[in-house]
Amino acid sequence: QVQLVESGGGLVQAGGSLTLSCAASGSIDRINTMGWYRQAPGKERELVATKTSLDRTNYADSVKGRFTISRDNAKNTVYLQMNSLKSEDTAVYYCNLRTWSRRVWEYWGQGTQVTVSS
């Protein structure tokens, strides 16, 4: 059983910064990717940033240059450093984990609210 625990969300003014954390626990055989998605009210969930097992990163165009994803493999934790926040970044941010054990398994956190005031 794998669980994801997110933290770090909150309220911040435009131009400010927040750091999100997501810690994975349980039986994890092999991590394919860890990353972050977000969903704003009335919109579909979208990719924010991911990091693969080969340490390759992928960012949404809307956050490039402002957000940084990183991993601590020893802690099975992924972080999202968010700088220069905009009102458009307001959303529920979800941690995502994909693992390999005979097939790809996908897990989601419960989400953490990020609200950027303008």
Tokens 């919109």 found at = 43
Sequence-distant contacts of 56-65: CB under 8 A, at least 24 apart: 62/88, 63/89
Instruction: List the beta bridge partners of residue 80.
Output: 20, 69
Kindly tell me the number of DSSP H helices and DSSP E strands found in the chain. 0, 11
pLDDT digits (tens, 9 = 90+) for 7-19: 999 999 999 999 9
The mean pLDDT value of the chain amounts to 95
The answer on pLDDT for 58 being more than 90 is yes
The answer on pLDDT for 20 being more than 90 is yes
